[in-house]
């Protein structure tokens, strides 16, 4: 496996978190803190129509009633967040309305190049269209024209608000309402950018769509919002990646992702989350509180979530599926790696409402150092979900003896014809396995990377080809120094 | 110069002395068999040579081509050409035999300053090796040792050995858990690897294996020492008379 070797090489060559640099670029920022004025400021910066501002304000006013109602049920420990200590808008200063990628600030192009995401189309990954979000704004979207010809809308969210208000109005908040939970409500009030995707009826989108999120400014939160609509009989595969500079203070990331799959449509959503995890002593790192939910609204529709979570000091994230349409399918594949002092509480919810709905959950948690890794999941089968089926498999791998793995599965079944299965294992990388690999000439790092990649294989295989290799490398790098 | 030289080797596990002064020299091209009853230190000897943790070498030396093996980590020893065929090959779920073999092969090639083999070259190489060993090629698509029968596990060890072309191959009770057909296949594989620049250390309980892998020298290990050495006829004698006289003599 070439990836394991490259991992070891990467570990030797670079410091553990190689995306920790800061781009020196002048920013346009909102004043510190959060109040109605800030929300009007954000809305004005984006030149939003009145209805959008009203929606934000409605969310903000609701959020004010939620004081001290941050969800406390997750197995996560962190100091109370001061929501007045962040900037809620930061954008690189640049003349607006770019007509082509050539006009993007070279510093930004350089940043994305360093991150391995070339934005100039001649250098770009073949068959992958990229939307690059830098702090609060989208700075570039590639292959826009080609996609347009097919009827695909792939645009920064703020642009979609202007150009496709009917679609945004119809679907925004229809899967994750503004009142859903503390962080989703905050996001609804202050969200800045993100991607908007619409796939027209019957189209199998010929390229992967991808958004690359980058937090750059100090003391800013990133609150992006992504909305993907797959119209009847369409298919789309979408991938997001995330990185942030290495800083001593914690930064907040509270995103919302909504997916809507209509009759016979399929959405495949993959995430490689590599926000800065903090240092070995747990200083700094991103607080990642994300609400992701997909609605299989139409019959025979399918939503598949794949996530590789290696970054962030704290991960609080449960990409879920609401299986409304008869025969609809929800799948969740997850690899969550925590090392040092990282904490992850992640899993999914599969809500079966329609008949013959099926869901599958494969979760692989890897914990090393002093980290805690929790799988939390809910399988709910409604009264009308005749013959619904769920299969859940949760495997935890421990490296060393100071980390924790926890599994908290809930099953609520209200239909006697439904069938649910749950399997769980917890294991350790054994001395025998390590010695066996080393006796065949592999270094300790190579051996750990190989064993962990094997453990995650079922999940990594579901990633689009272009990103599977990247993810394999990341798995090795994020566990560097975890053994011996 | 001997390929492997063991000089007055003493080793203990958790404070208990197991090896009490072993001296042995393996010339290139030779096969040495170490025989002895359970609990006399046979596996300790192979683990100490391979560099497994948990063994304390309290005295003595191990030299491979004149180089101090004891100063190297387990993976350095492997890359220097020491191969241990395990008595109980370890299962690694999710890691295909093919991925494992390729990672190991390339680790060794890198250490030797050679270019790594790519996927195509590798598959060609493995195809040839499995065919030569009479093994089903599909085996390499399965997770390493997971669900393998005893015979398949040992064959996989031989396949690894064939690919890694070691200077010194240690076979630790390779015959345990094998029926006669599997034993033949494994032995043929080992015999095909006998070469003028390679040495074998075959550790076994029974003479049976030595009917197939015929040794140049046989040593009896008893109470952590070499109690007797001889030619292949010593193995036959042991089979007839048992280990009792060596155990009594050494004790």
Q: Are A244 and A277 in contact (CB under 8 A)?
A: no
Q: Which residues of B touch A1 (CB under 8 A)?
A: 99, 102-103
According to the model, what pLDDT value does residue A15 have? 42
Residue A61 located in a structural domain: no
A358: phi then psi, degrees, rounded to nearest 5: -130, 145
Mutate to test the interface with A, among B54, B72, B74 (most CBs of A within 10 A): B74
Residue with the two structure tokens 């491979």: B64
Query: According to DSSP H, which parts of A16-81 are helical?
Result: 36-45, 50-64
According to the model, what pLDDT value does residue A241 have? 79
pLDDT tens column, A418-474: 999 999 999 989 899 999 999 999 999 899 999 999 999 999 888 887 677 778 877
Q: Do B90 and A436 touch (CB under 8 A)?
A: yes
Residue B210 has pLDDT above 60, yes or no: yes
- Average pLDDT taken over every residue of chain B: 92
Rounded Cα–Cα distance for residues A325 and A298 (Å)? 5
Residue A286 located in a structural domain: yes
According to the model, what pLDDT value does residue A2 have? 45
Q: Which residues of A touch B13 (CB under 8 A)?
A: none
Q: Which residues of A touch B107 (CB under 8 A)?
A: 5, 440-443, 446
Residue A319 has pLDDT above 80, yes or no: yes
Q: Are A275 and A304 in contact (CB under 8 A)?
A: no
According to the model, what pLDDT value does residue A334 have? 95
Q: Are A164 and A200 in contact (CB under 8 A)?
A: no
More confidently predicted of A22 and A169 = A169
According to the model, what pLDDT value does residue B37 have? 86
pLDDT tens column, A431-440: 999 999 999 9
Residue A5 has pLDDT above 70, yes or no: no
Residue with the two structure tokens 């937090």: A215
Q: Do A442 and B107 touch (CB under 8 A)?
A: yes
Q: What is the mean pLDDT of residues B41-69?
A: 95
Residue A305 located in a structural domain: yes
Q: What is the mean pLDDT of residues B105-123?
A: 93
Who contacts B121 (Cβ-Cβ below 8 Å, separation ≥6)?
A: none
Distance spanning both ends of chain A, measured CA to CA: 23
Residue B158 has pLDDT above 80, yes or no: yes
Domains and CATH numbers, chain B: 4-250 (3.40.50.300)
- Average pLDDT taken over every residue of chain A: 85
According to the model, what pLDDT value does residue A12 have? 40
DSSP state for residue A220 in the 8-state scheme? B
CA distance B169 to chain A (A): 12
- Between CA B224 and CA B233, with CA B230 as vertex, the angle to 5 degrees is 120
ipTM field? 0.96
CA distance B102 to chain A (A): 6
Nearest to A309, CA basis, from A319, A299, A301: A319
Q: Which residues of B touch A435 (CB under 8 A)?
A: 52-53, 74, 90
Residue A373 located in a structural domain: yes
Q: Do A436 and B89 touch (CB under 8 A)?
A: yes
Residue A145 located in a structural domain: yes
pLDDT band at residue A483 under the 50/70/90 scheme? low
CA distance B230 to chain A (A): 30
According to the model, what pLDDT value does residue A10 have? 42
Name the residue in chain A with its Cα closest to that of B160.
Answer: A440
Query: Which range scores top for mean pLDDT: A101-110, A471-480, B91-100?
Result: B91-100
Q: Are A460 and A453 in contact (CB under 8 A)?
A: yes
Residue with the two structure tokens 């042991």: B238
Residue A247 has pLDDT above 80, yes or no: no
Q: Are A421 and A300 in contact (CB under 8 A)?
A: no
CA distance B83 to chain A (A): 7
pLDDT band at residue A335 under the 50/70/90 scheme? very high
pLDDT tens column, A378-424: 999 999 999 999 999 999 999 988 999 999 999 999 999 999 999 99
Q: Are B106 and B116 in contact (CB under 8 A)?
A: yes
According to the model, what pLDDT value does residue A14 have? 38
Q: Do A5 and B93 touch (CB under 8 A)?
A: no
According to the model, what pLDDT value does residue A211 have? 82
Q: What is the mean pLDDT of residues B109-124?
A: 93
According to the model, what pLDDT value does residue A25 have? 67
Indicate the pairing of strand B217-222 with strand B199-204.
Answer: unpaired
| DSSP-assigned states of every residue in A425-475 | EEEE--HHHHHHHHHTT--HHHHHHHHHHHHTHHHHTTS-HHHHHHHHHHH
**Coil, strand or helix: which one is B197?**
coil
Q: What is the mean pLDDT of residues A364-371?
A: 93
Q: What is the mean pLDDT of residues B179-194?
A: 89
More confidently predicted of A81 and A4 = A81
Rounded Cα–Cα distance for residues B9 and A217 (Å)? 62
According to the model, what pLDDT value does residue A4 have? 47
More confidently predicted of B232 and A4 = B232
How many domains are contained in chain A?
1
Tokens of A172: 């925004």
According to the model, what pLDDT value does residue A112 have? 63
Q: What is the mean pLDDT of residues A263-279?
A: 90
Residue A11 has pLDDT above 90, yes or no: no
pLDDT tens column, A144-202: 778 889 999 988 898 999 999 999 999 999 999 999 999 999 999 999 888 899 999 99
B111 burial type by CB count under 10 A (0-12 exposed, 13-18 middle, 19+ buried):
middle
Residue A149 located in a structural domain: yes
Residue A13 has pLDDT above 60, yes or no: no
The least confident of A2-6, A376-380, B141-145, B219-223 is A2-6
Rounded Cα–Cα distance for residues A5 and B80 (Å)? 18
Q: Which residues of B touch A5 (CB under 8 A)?
A: 103, 106-107, 110, 116
* A48 at B interface, C-beta within 8 A: no
Q: Do A446 and B107 touch (CB under 8 A)?
A: yes
Signed CA dihedral, A63, A68, A71, A77: sign only: positive
More confidently predicted of A9 and A374 = A374
Residue A57 has pLDDT above 80, yes or no: yes
* A456 at B interface, C-beta within 8 A: yes
- Percentage of chain A surpassing pLDDT 90? 55
**In this complex, how many residue pairs, one in chain A and one in chain B, have their CB atoms less than 8 Å apart?**
91
User: Please, what's the b/e burial string for A333-343 (b: 16 or more CB within 10 A of its CB; e: otherwise)?
Assistant: bbbbbbbbbbb
Structure pTM? 0.85
Q: Nearest 10 degrees: CA dihedral of B234, B239, B241, B245? A: 60
Q: Which residues of B touch A431 (CB under 8 A)?
A: 53
Q: What is the mean pLDDT of residues B187-213?
A: 92
CB count within 10 Å of CB A126 equals 6
Q: Which residues of B touch A6 (CB under 8 A)?
A: none
CA distance A141 to chain B (A): 35
Q: What is the mean pLDDT of residues B37-61?
A: 94
pLDDT tens column, A117-138: 555 544 444 455 667 766 656 6
Nearest to B148, CA basis, from A452, B158, A438, B162: B158
Residue A394 located in a structural domain: yes
Residue A199 belongs to domain spanning: 2-15+112-433
Rounded Cα–Cα distance for residues A301 and A295 (Å)? 9
Residue A440 located in a structural domain: no
Q: Do A442 and B104 touch (CB under 8 A)?
A: yes
Instruction: Tell me which residues of chain B have a C-beta less than 8 Å from any C-beta of chain A.
Output: 50-53, 73-75, 77-79, 83-84, 86, 89-90, 92-96, 99-100, 102-104, 106-108, 110-111, 116, 118-119, 143, 160, 164
pLDDT band at residue A8 under the 50/70/90 scheme? very low
Residue A244 has pLDDT above 80, yes or no: no
Query: According to DSSP H, which parts of A91-229 are helical?
Result: 106-114, 144-150, 157-163, 165-171, 182-190
């Amino acid at each position: 496996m070439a990836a394991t070797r490259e991992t070891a090489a990467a570990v030797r060559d670079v410091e553990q978190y190689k995306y920790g640099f800061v781009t020196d670029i002048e920013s346009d920022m909102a004043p510190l803190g959060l109040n109605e004025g800030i929300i009007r400021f954000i809305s004005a910066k984006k030149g939003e129509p009145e209805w959008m501002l009203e929606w934000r304000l409605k969310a903000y006013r609701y959020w004010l009633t939620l004081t001290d109602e941050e969800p406390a049920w997750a197995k996560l420990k962190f100091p109370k967040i001061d929501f007045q200590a962040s900037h809620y808008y930061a954008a690189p200063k640049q003349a607006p309305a770019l007509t082509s990628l050539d006009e993007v600030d070279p510093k930004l192009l350089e940043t994305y190049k360093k991150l391995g995401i070339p934005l100039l189309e001649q250098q770009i990954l073949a068959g992958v269209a990229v939307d690059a979000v830098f702090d609060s704004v989208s700075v570039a979207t590639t292959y826009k024209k080609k996609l347009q010809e097919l009827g695909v809308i792939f645009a920064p969210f703020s642009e979609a608000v202007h150009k496709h208000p009917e679609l945004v109005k119809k679907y925004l908040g229809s899967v994750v309402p503004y009142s859903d939970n503390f962080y989703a409500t905050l996001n609804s009030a202050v969200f800045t950018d993100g991607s908007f995707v619409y796939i027209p009826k019957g189209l199998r989108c010929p390229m992967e769509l991808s958004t690359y999120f980058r937090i750059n400014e100090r003391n800013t939160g990133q609150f992006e919002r992504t909305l993907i609509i797959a119209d009847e009989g369409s298919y789309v595969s979408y991938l997001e990646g995330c990185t942030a500079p290495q800083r001593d203070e914690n930064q907040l990331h509270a995103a919302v992702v909504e997916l809507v799959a209509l009759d016979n449509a399929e959405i495949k959503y993959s995430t490689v989350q590599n926000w800065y995890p903090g240092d070995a002593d747990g200083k700094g790192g991103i607080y990642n509180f994300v609400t992701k939910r997909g609605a299989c609204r139409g019959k025979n529709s399918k939503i598949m979530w794949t996530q590789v979570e290696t970054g962030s000091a704290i991960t609080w994230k449960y990409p879920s599926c609401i299986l409304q349409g008869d025969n609809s399918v929800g799948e969740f594949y997850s690899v969550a790696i925590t090392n040092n002092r990282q904490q992850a509480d992640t899993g999914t919810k599969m809500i079966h409402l329609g008949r013959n709905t099926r869901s599958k959950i494969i979760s692989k948690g890897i914990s090393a150092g002093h980290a805690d890794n929790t799988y939390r999941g809910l399988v709910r089968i409604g009264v009308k979900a005749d013959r619904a089926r769920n299969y859940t498999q949760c495997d935890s791998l421990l490296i060393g003896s100071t980390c924790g793995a926890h599994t908290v599965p809930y099953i609520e079944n209200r239909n006697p014809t439904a069938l649910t299965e749950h399997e769980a294992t917890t294991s350790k990388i054994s001395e025998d396995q390590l010695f066996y690999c080393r006796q065949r000439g592999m270094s300790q790092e190579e051996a750990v990377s190989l064993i962990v990649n094997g453990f995650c294989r079922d999940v990594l295989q579901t990633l689009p080809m272009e990103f599977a290799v990247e993810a394999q490398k990341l798995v090795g790098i994020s566990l560097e120094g975890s053994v011996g | 110069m001997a390929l492997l030289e063991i000089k007055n080797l003493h080793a203990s596990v958790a404070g208990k002395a197991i090896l009490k002064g072993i001296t042995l020299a393996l010339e290139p091209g030779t096969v040495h068999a170490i025989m002895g009853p359970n609990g006399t230190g046979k596996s300790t000897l192979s683990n100490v040579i391979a560099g497994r943790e948990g063994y304390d070498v309290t005295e003595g030396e191990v030299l491979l081509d004149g180089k101090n093996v004891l100063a190297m980590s387990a993976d350095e020893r492997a890359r220097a050409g020491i191969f241990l065929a395990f008595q109980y090959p370890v299962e690694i779920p999710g890691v295909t035999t093919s991925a494992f073999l390729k990672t190991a092969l390339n680790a060794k090639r890198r250490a030797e300053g050679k270019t790594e083999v790519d996927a195509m070259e590798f598959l060609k190489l493995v195809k040839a090796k499995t065919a030569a060993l009479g093994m089903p090629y599909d085996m390499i698509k399965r997770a390493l040792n997971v669900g393998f029968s005893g015979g398949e596990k040992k064959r996989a060890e031989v396949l690894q050995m064939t690919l890694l072309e070691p200077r010194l191959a240690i076979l630790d009770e390779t015959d345990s858990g094998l029926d006669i057909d599997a034993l033949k296949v494994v032995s043929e594989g080992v015999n095909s690897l006998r070469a003028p620049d390679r040495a074998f250390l075959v550790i076994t309980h029974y003479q049976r294996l030595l009917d197939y892998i015929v040794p140049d020298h046989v040593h009896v290990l008893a109470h952590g020492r070499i109690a007797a050495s001889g030619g292949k006829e010593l193995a036959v004698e042991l089979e007839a008379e048992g280990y009792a006289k060596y155990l009594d003599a050494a004790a």
